[in-house]
Amino acid sequence: MSQSALIKRILIVGGGTAGWMTAAAMGKLLAPLKIDVTLLESDQIGTVGVGEATLPHIRFFNRRLGIDEADFMAQTAATFKLGIEFRDWARKGDAYIHPFGDYGRDIKGVPFHHYWLRLRQRGRAWRIGEFSAPVMISEFGRFAMPVEDERSVMSSFSYAYQFDAGLYAKYLRRFAEACGVRRIEGKITTVIQRGEDGFIEAVKTEDGRRVEADLFVDCSGFRGLLIEQTLKAGFEDWSAVLPCDRAVAVPCENAAPSLPYTRATARGAGWQWRIPLQHRVGNGYVYCSEHVSDDEAAQTLMASLEGRPRAEPNFLRFRAGKRRRQWVKNCVSIGLSSGFLEPLESTSIYLIQASVTKLLELFPDRDFRACDIDEFNRAMDLEYERIRDFLILHYHATERDDTPFWDYVRTMKIPDSLAYKMTLFRKRGVVVKYKDGLFLHPSWIAVYLGQRVMPDMYDPRAEFIAEDELEKTLSAMRNLIRKTAESLPDHSDFIRRYCPAPGTV
């Protein structure tokens, strides 16, 4: 940097998933710059510890850090994840999988789903999921690694992991410490700001220690100890469009071999997750406290467990929204301290990764220039807003009117940035494209169609193929995908061979 005012010390406040992911990335990637990275956490306070389902991006994170996949999966009792199954969302009895992969193939430059729509209008009742390799592989409970050869249907998807959050934190901690990150145990009681500009100078712990740094990363969870309590970044509240504000979580025993996908089942006042791991299943009910009490929610959850509970139900409270500024002065918030979007599409860990990556890209020096901070905040705002809209779609595009909760989300006013996207899809089957932002074309198609947002028409260019030729092409695609999926090994067998967790075999 001008290259003198380089940051020398970083303090990461918090040792949850956000803290340790940040520590691992910084420990590894900042090593050549000889920056001192310290993490401070309080055993007294503890972590949220529920984030267990991820998105495929985490593989790039791991690769960048040089993490060995099989070892990582074994140590976190992880399973593979090919998508999320949504049950009972548009109507009770509905089910669809939002896969990490493409539907069919474009034909003559026109996206596949238009051809599918055309045949559907002619009465062909094929499900769109039958043209997705990861959907079919999920339905059969199989798994194999995708390949690179673009001619193969096995190149059409990606995958993520479902892991034990507690084991993941431990794994990252070992990794980060091996990279030279120092860990301090202690509870912060005071934050000391510099008189002249309000920058954070140091934090003080209960037992009287003072820890200084140039850059503070606030990973303190919902409380936002530095970013909010000290620096007053402000919170943009999105609960009007994402009204769920509580969750109750409980792990239970595995009743069946683990499946390569997460499940999200709509309930009367929210939805319930099911995340299969090697040694147990994670469950939780995310709900809106205005419409259901904690006791009722816990009852609903406990009554639907497939195996014996392995812990007491754990209650959590939150509010959808984000910090108005995620980076203020010399403090960057990462993880729950930066905002919260419910785990419907497993986006939180992705957001942690995006923040860390962006921070390294815009890595500041000790002058903390406004332009670095602005650009970080602009980029993260865009990430948050685009995910928010995608989540709202799941709730809003529904026909359910069986509870006041569903009546509310079905009829609420949604952001214009989502409304025009839905209109274009509904009228014309076109998915709006954007450059930065998490969910791409196939994700929008999966959720639109899964939520019964059925286009009035398909792209007129999809007419350029004769109908019988189109039937043949699609039918061949469908058969190939089904045959390929069926031929793969069982997901749980694959795991047993590839990455068995200690004690599971």
Partner 1 sequence: MPNQSHGETRNIVIIGDGFDAWLSAAYLTRKLRAGYDIVVCAPPREEMQDHCAVFAGPATSSLHAELAVDERDLLRYCRGTFSLGAHFLDWTKPGKDYVVAFGAYGAPIETIAFHQCWRKRQRIVKGGDRFDSYSLSATAARAGKFAHPSRDPADIRSTYRYGYHVDVELYTDYMRRYAMHYGAKKAGARYANALLKERREGIDAVRLADGEIIPAFLALDCASAAAPLIEGALGATWTSFPSPGAVDSVITFAASSVASPSMTRIVAAKTCWRMDIPFQDGARCMIGYDSRAVSLDALAREHGPLENLEAKRIVRGRRAPAIGNVAALGESACRLDPLFCPAPATLIAGLKTLVELLPASQSGAETDEYNRIMSDVFERCNDFVTLQYWLAEQLGQHAWAAGAEKALSPHLRRKIEQFRSRGQIVQFDEEIYDQEMWIASLLGAGVNPERYDPFADGLSETMLDARLAALREKIAETVRAMPDQMIYLRQARATAPERSGS
Ligand X SMILES: Cc1cc2nc3c(=O)[nH]c(=O)nc-3n(C[C@H](O)[C@H](O)[C@H](O)COP(=O)(O)OP(=O)(O)OC[C@H]3O[C@@H](n4cnc5c(N)ncnc54)[C@H](O)[C@@H]3O)c2cc1C
Q: Which of residues 243 and 335 has its CB atom nearest to ligand X in the complex?
A: 335
Verify binding: residue 42, ligand X, rule CB under 6 A.
yes
Give the interface size with partner 1 as a residue count (CB under 8 A): 39
Verify binding: residue 226, ligand X, rule CB under 6 A.
no
Residue 247, beta-bridge partner list: 286, 316
Its sign, for the CA torsion 65, 69, 74, 80, is positive
Q: Which of residues 202 and 432 has its CB atom nearest to partner 1 in the complex?
A: 432
Neighbours of 152 (CB within 10 A): 13
Nearest distance from C-beta of residue 338 to ligand X, angstroms: 8
Contact 289, 204 (CB under 8 A): no
- The overall longest dimension of the chain from CA atoms, in Å, is 78
Verify binding: residue 225, ligand X, rule CB under 6 A.
yes
The binder of 284, among ligand X, partner 1, none, by C-beta within 5 to 8 A per type, is ligand X
- Measure the CA–CA gap between 446 and 112, rounded to whole angstroms: 12
Q: Which residues contact 5 (CB under 8 A, 6 or more apart)?
A: 365, 366, 367
By CB under 8 A, the residues from 293 to 312 that bind partner 1 are none
Check the annotation: does 298 bind a ligand: no
Q: Which of residues 36 and 365 has its CB atom nearest to partner 1 in the complex?
A: 365
- Measure the CA–CA gap between 79 and 2, rounded to whole angstroms: 46
Report which residue type is found at 57. Answer: H
Verify binding: residue 313, ligand X, rule CB under 6 A.
no
Question: For the chain, first and last CA: distance in Å?
Answer: 51
Stretch that binds partner 1, among 31-39, 261-269, 301-309, 487-495 (CB under 8 A): 31-39
Active site residues: 81
**At CA 89, angle to CA 86 and CA 95, rounded to 5?**
45
Verify binding: residue 224, ligand X, rule CB under 6 A.
no
Verify binding: residue 440, partner 1, rule CB under 8 A.
no
Verify binding: residue 361, partner 1, rule CB under 8 A.
yes
Strands of 353-464, DSSP E: none
The binder of partner 1 chosen from 71, 189, 232, 464 (CB under 8 A)? 464
Q: Which residues contact 186 (CB under 8 A, 6 or more apart)?
A: 40, 42, 205, 206, 207, 209
Q: Are β-strands 262-267 and 83-87 bridged in parallel, bridged antiparallel, or unpaired? A: parallel
Stretch that binds partner 1, among 15-23, 27-35, 202-210, 440-448 (CB under 8 A): 27-35
The binder of partner 1 chosen from 285, 458, 477, 485 (CB under 8 A)? 458
By CB under 6 A, name the binding residues for ligand X. Answer: 13-19, 40-42, 45-54, 187-188, 219-221, 223, 225, 247, 249, 284, 286, 316, 318, 335-337, 343, 346, 348-349
By CB under 8 A, name the binding residues for partner 1. Answer: 1-3, 6, 29, 31-33, 64, 109, 118, 121, 360-363, 365, 369, 371-372, 375, 420, 423-424, 427-428, 430, 432, 434-436, 456-461, 463-464
